[in-house]
Amino acid sequence: MSVSLSGIYTPVVTPFTAAGDLDEDALRFNAERYLQSRLTGLVVLGSNGEAPQLDQDEADRAIAAVRSVVPRGRPLLAGTGQESTRATIAASRRAAELGVDAVLVRTPAFYKGQMTTEAFVRHYTAVAEASPVPVFLYNVTMYTGVNLTPDAVALLSEHPNIVGMKESSTDIVQFAEHLSRAREGFVLLTGSAPIFYSAMALGASGAVLAIGGVVPDLCVALAEAMRNGRYDEARALQRRLSPIARLVGSAHGVPGLKAALDLAGYRGGVPRSPLVPVPLAVVDVIRTELAKLGVLSPDAASRPASAAAR
Amino acid sequence: MSVSLSGIYTPVVTPFTAAGDLDEDALRFNAERYLQSRLTGLVVLGSNGEAPQLDQDEADRAIAAVRSVVPRGRPLLAGTGQESTRATIAASRRAAELGVDAVLVRTPAFYKGQMTTEAFVRHYTAVAEASPVPVFLYNVTMYTGVNLTPDAVALLSEHPNIVGMKESSTDIVQFAEHLSRAREGFVLLTGSAPIFYSAMALGASGAVLAIGGVVPDLCVALAEAMRNGRYDEARALQRRLSPIARLVGSAHGVPGLKAALDLAGYRGGVPRSPLVPVPLAVVDVIRTELAKLGVLSPDAASRPASAAAR
Amino acid sequence: MSVSLSGIYTPVVTPFTAAGDLDEDALRFNAERYLQSRLTGLVVLGSNGEAPQLDQDEADRAIAAVRSVVPRGRPLLAGTGQESTRATIAASRRAAELGVDAVLVRTPAFYKGQMTTEAFVRHYTAVAEASPVPVFLYNVTMYTGVNLTPDAVALLSEHPNIVGMKESSTDIVQFAEHLSRAREGFVLLTGSAPIFYSAMALGASGAVLAIGGVVPDLCVALAEAMRNGRYDEARALQRRLSPIARLVGSAHGVPGLKAALDLAGYRGGVPRSPLVPVPLAVVDVIRTELAKLGVLSPDAASRPASAAAR
Amino acid sequence: MSVSLSGIYTPVVTPFTAAGDLDEDALRFNAERYLQSRLTGLVVLGSNGEAPQLDQDEADRAIAAVRSVVPRGRPLLAGTGQESTRATIAASRRAAELGVDAVLVRTPAFYKGQMTTEAFVRHYTAVAEASPVPVFLYNVTMYTGVNLTPDAVALLSEHPNIVGMKESSTDIVQFAEHLSRAREGFVLLTGSAPIFYSAMALGASGAVLAIGGVVPDLCVALAEAMRNGRYDEARALQRRLSPIARLVGSAHGVPGLKAALDLAGYRGGVPRSPLVPVPLAVVDVIRTELAKLGVLSPDAASRPASAAAR
């Protein structure tokens, strides 16, 4: 393919209007601003994009909106994983028609006991056969409660239309096993900011980081330091990154991320129910962290951001 | 409401045609046969109905098909839980229009860390306000990885449009706590066959049992024995029920259930991918158990059922 | 054997002097008072007796102290489980010499990955061969992190010197499986107060309950109601029991139990470090629950018990 | 102190005679051989030393035996953690008298619910106050089921007699947090071979590795490569190390380690019951891995090692 898929991505959030509808303007606004950063590309309809909360029409419109501002040559991935193989194939085909460079396919997860390596291999093989664009595996056990094992990954990495994987687990041992067992050239991306440095130190191809939407250049700088063998500098950057990554990751999830984006001058807004916006006290904690990193928007810096955000 | 909702239900499976489409004929066939049993009513679009694998159109057609054969006075519930509050409300309204007596609303579950008691209370309250028909809470931690706590249940049971709950956990301590803390008259149903006797012994209002689709009268007999204080008899019935319940529940899930239905003369068929049919060796184990219970169809009894089933 | 081992037991706590040494006087005081209740017998050196915190000499003295006041005909069990088979055998022999009627052998647990059914079967068989007195299996997963499966229990129940089991799990499905698979006559006791009623309703032989040390007659009354088929009464007694059981069980453990004993006129005292006494606010919560049950000592009722206890 | 405690250690196994008694000759034999490697020092009575299976007298003799061959200047640590604070202090004092350079104190773990950060801080502070030699914290959640949090570690690292920690978790995020929050100079050692490289890449002070007893020089070489900034070489060494580390770690534990030692010309022998020797098929798998690493003893290479080992 003409676009190299290694690098640093951010999964864009999905903003909503006051009425709770998809806000395509805000989506384009954020995407355009990311294009001015050194991020490799964007992921639309990721877990942090509230994909499980969108209907099919909204999903299609979200892809179209982002693609309309992301030029060819800048990779755009879309999340298309659904519970059934059939629906996943349909979503992948629609995404391809809408112009994405690759699809990111989260493991099906509802029937946990039945989601064996065999079932995953069949599922991903069928999706890869049918998808017009390359497929990324996507393992996010903290949300799904199932795990795509190194056995499955090693096998699936041999499929010509499966080009890589986003592994969001913090389990560095499993990450290392994926790396040593997948085929040469497989694009393994970490989806976990707290292990970003460690994953790169093991030889990861890059990352898809929610926090990359808030501090894109810090994330890119860390990757660059690694690429140039400046481990000490990279380690120091990881230490800068970890506190905010924790806040908008494990601690406060999508609501925390959207609050952080508001404070950094992007358009985050409120998440869709049943997600609940973070309380003002948390907004203030996030604000303090962003101030330390120098990415508070002038607006958010001059007055209580929390008041402005809601 | 005119229909009492206590009693013994089965969640009907969703059969598919050879082409993988919804098979409404098979659905009606099964439902009609259940109406000849002493089951209180049916649940369509439950977890065992592969609801997460169906699209919206299929879901509506499944409800319509079952309602077309289930007479008024025989309760029909439909699963309408989606990840967003908004989608859950929409699904509940459509189900109500299609004539269901109540909706069974599985907890949203994707953003596990954010699914607090507060988030659940807001979600279910909004759904209950908007739903034209009564709402059942539905907690199925083995599939969702989240838990609806007794705190949430106690609070929600006070809502006039929340009439009951299906609790599929095997945690008898939590079940007892729901019972002692929910309002008087709240219809608490167990969704776990292995604790059926124990739940009834604590005062449950009934059950929604996948295995009730295979041995409906055995399940009804157990409930009746309990109601009449014949604990020893009920305990003996539970011992008959447990082995097959394990096979089509924790051990082999929906694929096991569908195989059992085929063997008992219903129309199960193959599950939708990524679910994989159980291997023939498992079919034979299930067949042996069904033979012990005397519910093998004449067809399945006379020759290797496994051969016939596929 | 001459003594029937079914019934209701309490595991006595191990009191310490102000200097932190074993307090045999207090141990005898408590035991003597229990003998006036309708409890079947006592367990010394159970988990709630802080057995893992005692050295060998203290363990022996604790057994001797309790046996000195418990007459023959009233069963006395002692916990003798150690990490190695060899040490468990030695402890069981010493306990037998000190006159216990049976030993309660907790599963070894340190090397969790290696504690397979096979390893447990070998271990318990060796202990049963060597022990001069009958052996009870003891499964307490909440403390050990390992599980003695129904497979292991079914097999071990056939050994002539293994007479029963204390199962402290709240997993009622596993409890039911032990019951249906162990040999006829095997004495299966629950160690979990919250499932006491449910275990008896399934046919348990009795219970070993920490809370039985605080409200012995309530526990005996529940068992008696069950034996006479008065399920409704038993259920009501369970509802009385559950709140205090939670407080001195899952919520506050041994420190909570010792505080409750102080308030009920027994000699609890402070636990051995690293256990920390419960805070005064918790003492007051326990006091309120005990007052409802009418078992506060006159002393504890007339003034802030918390002040007196420390 | 005169001895620097950073570096690479191995926890020596505890060999037993055919009669099942402590085999001090074998212990000394192994220790002497390790002294010829470039290992920094040794740990006696670690988890892999079957410490929980030894009685007090055996523990003392094991320390004395190893110290008798380990010269001053070569650090010797001993595991002294017990369930009670009191017993831990006593064990630490005895170990100090026997000449160890520091004690390695595993978290108490039995009363899991009560093992809060507060309880751990009190426990370790009391031990550090009383111990005549420096204290290492020791967190090994896979065996204990409890976790010593970065909060506790940060606090305890300030105590003048707490010099470091062995963290055996594979959780690299927690490891990084220990590093960034403990005081400057705190000696943080990983106890997990699969994350050895990753821990060193984050700035760990060294490691205590069971597999270091089988391939000491490979472990030392990895640490040296890291120290000299040769990350690629270190990563390659990690890939060599991981397969054998898995076999004698998570997969087969102490029995696997002892089998590997036999094959590499050390004296491993059989573990103490309830541990069960690994089956011959596993011995052969280990043998194959050791052959690849070039550390099979000539003896084990020339004929089926499995036959020789038992």
CB pairs under 8 A between A and B: 107
pLDDT of residue C302: 65
Express as a percent the part of chain A with pLDDT over 70.
Answer: 96
Distance from the Cα of B251 to chain A's closest Cα (Å) equals 8
Do C53 and D87 make contact, defined as CB atoms within 8 angstroms? yes
Q: Which amino acid is at B60?
A: D
- Inform me whether the pLDDT recorded for A1 exceeds 50: no
Q: What is the largest CA-CA distance in chain A?
A: 56
pLDDT of residue D302: 65
DSSP 8-state class, residue B51: G
Q: Give which of C54, C63, C118, C50 is closest to C92, Cα–Cα.
A: C63
Q: Do chains A and D touch (3 or more CB pairs under 8 A)?
A: yes
Distances (CA, A) of A226 to A205, A238, A244, B282: 11, 11, 21, 51
Q: Residue C275: CA atoms inside 13 Å, Cβ hemisphere, count? A: 31
Do A114 and B276 make contact, defined as CB atoms within 8 angstroms? yes
CB pairs under 8 A between A and D: 51
Distance from the Cα of D120 to chain A's closest Cα (Å) equals 24
Instruction: Give the pLDDT confidence of C30-71 residue by residue, as tens digits.
Output: 999 999 999 999 999 999 999 999 999 999 999 999 999 999
Say if CB C27 and CB C62 are below 8 A apart. yes
Say if CB B205 and CB B6 are below 8 A apart. yes
Residue of A nearest to B119 (CA): A274
Q: Do chains A and C touch (3 or more CB pairs under 8 A)?
A: no
Query: Which residues of D are designated catalytic?
Result: 166
Instruction: Give the pLDDT confidence of B209-234 residue by residue, as tens digits.
Output: 999 999 999 999 999 999 999 999 99
Report the distance separating Cα D268 and Cα D261, nearest Å: 5
Q: Give which of B119, B95, B94, B96 is closest to B109, Cα–Cα.
A: B119
Say if CB A248 and CB A10 are below 8 A apart. no
Report the distance separating Cα B167 and Cα B208, nearest Å: 9
Q: Do chains A and B touch (3 or more CB pairs under 8 A)?
A: yes
Do B173 and C195 make contact, defined as CB atoms within 8 angstroms? yes
Say if CB B169 and CB B47 are below 8 A apart. no
Average pLDDT, chain A: 95
Provide, as residue numbers in chain D, all residues whose Cβ is less than 8 Å from the Cβ of C120. Answer: 274
Provide, as residue numbers in chain D, all residues whose Cβ is less than 8 Å from the Cβ of A203. Answer: 235
Using CB atoms, which residue from C114, C254, C276 is nearest to D275?
C114
Q: What is the pLDDT tens value at each position of chain B, 310 positions in all? A: 445 899 999 999 999 999 999 999 999 999 999 999 999 999 999 999 999 999 999 999 999 999 999 999 999 999 999 999 999 999 999 999 999 999 999 999 999 999 999 999 999 999 999 999 999 999 999 999 999 999 999 999 999 999 999 999 999 999 999 999 999 999 999 999 999 999 999 999 999 999 999 999 999 999 999 999 999 999 999 999 999 999 998 899 999 999 999 999 999 999 999 999 999 999 999 999 999 999 999 888 765 544 444 4
Provide, as residue numbers in chain B, all residues whose Cβ is less than 8 Å from the Cβ of A253. Answer: 111, 113-114
Q: Which amino acid is at A276?
A: V
pLDDT of residue A146: 98
Q: Do chains D and B touch (3 or more CB pairs under 8 A)?
A: no
Provide, as residue numbers in chain A, all residues whose Cβ is less than 8 Å from the Cβ of B106. Answer: none
| Matching residue, tokens 């929604």 | B208
Phi, psi of D76 (to 5 degrees): -120, 120
Say if CB A222 and CB A193 are below 8 A apart. no
Distances (CA, A) of C76 to A273, A282, C89, C101: 58, 56, 18, 5
Report the distance separating Cα B279 and Cα D154, nearest Å: 53
> Which ranges of C228-279 does DSSP label H, i.e. alpha helix?
231-246, 253-263
Could you write out the DSSP letters of every residue in chain D?
A: --S---EEEEE----B-TTSSB-HHHHHHHHHHHHTTT--EEEES-GGGTGGGS-HHHHHHHHHHHHHHS-TTS-EEEE---SSHHHHHHHHHHHHHTT-SEEEEEPP-SSGGG--HHHHHHHHHHHHHH-SS-EEEEE-HHHHS----HHHHHHHTTSTTEEEEEE----HHHHHHHHHHSPTT-EEEE--GGGHHHHHHHT--EEE-GGGGTSHHHHHHHHHHHHTT-HHHHHHHHHHHHHHHHIIIIITHHHHHHHHHHHTTS---PPPTTS-PPPHHHHHHHHHHHHHHT---HHHHHS-HHHHH-
Q: Give which of C2, C94, C81 is closest to C47, Cα–Cα.
A: C81
Distance from the Cα of C290 to chain B's closest Cα (Å) equals 19
pLDDT of residue A305: 45
| Surface-to-core class of residue B199, CB atoms within 10 Å of its CB (0-12 exposed, 13-18 middle, 19+ buried) | buried
Q: Residue D130: CA atoms inside 13 Å, Cβ hemisphere, count? A: 19
Q: Residue D11: CA atoms inside 13 Å, Cβ hemisphere, count? A: 28
Phi, psi of C162 (to 5 degrees): -105, 105
Do B113 and A55 make contact, defined as CB atoms within 8 angstroms? no
Say if CB A108 and CB A115 are below 8 A apart. yes
Using CB atoms, which residue from A171, A176, A235 is nearest to D202?
A235
pLDDT of residue A191: 98
Do D172 and A198 make contact, defined as CB atoms within 8 angstroms? yes
Instruction: Give the pLDDT confidence of C168-221 residue by residue, as tens digits.
Output: 999 999 999 999 999 999 999 999 999 999 999 999 999 999 999 999 999 999
Helix (H/G/I), strand (E/B), else coil: A202: helix
Helix (H), strand (E) at residue B285: helix B280-293
C12-51 b/e with 16+ CB inside 10 Å = b? bbbbbeeeeebbbebbbebbebbeebebbbbbbbbbbbbb
Question: Which candidate in A105, A110, A112 is best for mutational testing of the B interface (most B CBs within 10 A)?
Answer: A110
Say if CB B151 and CB B139 are below 8 A apart. no
Cross-strand pairs, B41: B9
Which residues are within 8 A (CB) of B29 and not within 5 positions of it... i.e. 6 or more apart? B266, B267
Residue of C nearest to D142 (CA): C112
Q: CA end-to-end span of chain D, whole Å?
A: 44
Say if CB B296 and CB B290 are below 8 A apart. yes
The token pair that represents A293 in the structure block: 């990193």
Over residues A5-33, mean pLDDT: 98
With an 8 Å Cβ cutoff, the interface of chain A facing chain D consists of 170-173, 176-177, 180, 194-195, 197-198, 201-203, 229, 231, 235, 238-239, 242
Distance from the Cα of B141 to chain C's closest Cα (Å) equals 15
Q: Contact partners of D by the rule of 3+ C-beta pairs under 8 A? A: A, C
Using CB atoms, which residue from B177, B195, B229 is nearest to C173?
B195
Report the distance separating Cα A294 and Cα B154, nearest Å: 46
Provide, as residue numbers in chain C, all residues whose Cβ is less than 8 Å from the Cβ of D120. Answer: 274
Report the distance separating Cα D142 and Cα D126, nearest Å: 25
Could you write out the DSSP letters of every residue in C160-211?
A: TTEEEEEE----HHHHHHHHHHSPTT-EEEE--GGGHHHHHHTT--EEE-GG
Cis peptide before C274 (omega within 30 of 0): yes
Phi-psi region of D294 (alpha: psi -120 to 50; beta: other; left: phi over 0): left
Cis peptide before A274 (omega within 30 of 0): yes
Q: Give which of A278, A272, A274, A276 is closest to A305, Cα–Cα.
A: A278
Do A201 and D203 make contact, defined as CB atoms within 8 angstroms? no
Do C170 and B173 make contact, defined as CB atoms within 8 angstroms? yes
Phi, psi of D41 (to 5 degrees): -170, -170
**Cβ neighbours of C302 (radius 10 Å):** 10
Instruction: Give the pLDDT confidence of A93-118 residue by residue, as tens digits.
Output: 999 999 999 999 999 999 999 999 99
Provide, as residue numbers in chain A, all residues whose Cβ is less than 8 Å from the Cβ of D190. Answer: none
pLDDT of residue C3: 52
Report the distance separating Cα A91 and Cα A27, nearest Å: 20
Provide, as residue numbers in chain C, all residues whose Cβ is less than 8 Å from the Cβ of B231. Answer: 201, 229, 231
Report the distance separating Cα C171 and Cα C163, nearest Å: 22
Query: What stretches in chain D show pLDDT beneath 50?
Result: 1-2, 305-310
Report the distance separating Cα B120 and Cα B85, nearest Å: 10
Q: Give which of D253, D200, D255 is closest to D8, Cα–Cα.
A: D200
Report the distance separating Cα A222 and Cα A238, nearest Å: 7
Instruction: Give the pLDDT confidence of B49-87 residue by residue, as tens digits.
Output: 999 999 999 999 999 999 999 999 999 999 999 999 999
CB pairs under 8 A between B and C: 49
| Surface-to-core class of residue A303, CB atoms within 10 Å of its CB (0-12 exposed, 13-18 middle, 19+ buried) | exposed
Helices D231-246 + D280-293 axis angle, to 10:
160
pLDDT of residue C309: 44
Report the distance separating Cα B162 and Cα B185, nearest Å: 11
Do A53 and B83 make contact, defined as CB atoms within 8 angstroms? yes
pLDDT of residue C13: 98
Distance from the Cα of C219 to chain B's closest Cα (Å) equals 17
Do C53 and D145 make contact, defined as CB atoms within 8 angstroms? no
Over residues C125-144, mean pLDDT: 98
- CA A22 to chain CA centroid, Å, is 19
Say if CB A256 and CB A247 are below 8 A apart. yes
Helix (H/G/I), strand (E/B), else coil: B283: helix
Say if CB C206 and CB C40 are below 8 A apart. yes
Distances (CA, A) of D281 to A126, D273, D277, D302: 37, 20, 11, 17
Q: Contact partners of C by the rule of 3+ C-beta pairs under 8 A? A: B, D
Q: Give which of D176, D163, D97 is closest to D136, Cα–Cα.
A: D163
Do D142 and C118 make contact, defined as CB atoms within 8 angstroms? no
Distance from the Cα of C226 to chain B's closest Cα (Å) equals 11
B225-254 b/e with 16+ CB inside 10 Å = b? bbeeeebeebbebbebbbebbbbbbbebbb
Report the distance separating Cα C53 and Cα C16, nearest Å: 12
